[in-house]
Structure 1
Amino acid sequence: MRRIAMSGREGGKKKPLRQAKKDKKELDEDDLAFKQKQQEEKRKLKELQDKAKAKGPLLTGGIKKSGK
C-alpha cells in the first residue's frame, strides 16, 4: 500500500515552539524601593475607594421627572 500525501494540514495540529525560561533577576535596592512605593500607593487608593463607597452615591439629585 502506498500512502498518499495529505493536502493542507498534515497529521493534526503542530506544537508551538517552547519558550526559553526567563532567568530570575536579582532585585537591587532601587527596585525594592519602587515596588514598596507601588504597594503603598495601591493600598492608599483602595482605602480612598472604600471611604467613597461608605458615603454613598454623589449624584443623588438632578433633574426629576414629573409624575404626569
Structure 2
Amino acid sequence: MSGRQGGKAKPLKAAKKTEKDLSEEDVEFKKKQQEEAKKIKEMAAKAGQRGPLLGGGIKKSGKK
C-alpha cells in the first residue's frame, strides 16, 4: 500500500492557457461588453436607492 492512496485525491492541474492574438474587432467587442456591464451595475445601484416602486397595494379601511 502506498501512503497517498487514502484520503482525498489531489485534482489534476489544468493546462496553461495560451494568450491568443485578438483582432481589433474582438478588442472593441470586449470594451463594449464591459461598458454595458458597468451601466447595468450603475442602474441596479440607482434602483436600489429609491425603494419600492409600488407603494399602494390593497388598502384597508379602519372600520371592521
Match of 2:5 in 1: 11
Change (3 A) 1:64 1:31: same
Match of 1:34 in 2: 29
TM-score, normalised to structure 1, is: 0.60
Unaligned runs of 5+ in 2: none
Match of 2:43 in 1: 48
Instruction: Name the count of aligned residue pairs.
Output: 60
Alpha carbon RMSD of aligned pairs, Å?
2.6
Unaligned runs of 5+ in 1: none
TM-score, normalised to structure 2, is: 0.62
Bigger Rg, structure 1 or 2: 1
Which of 48, 54, 59 is 1:59 aligned to?
A: 54
- Report the Cα distance in structure 2 between the residues aligned to 1:50 and 1:16, rounded to whole angstroms: 39
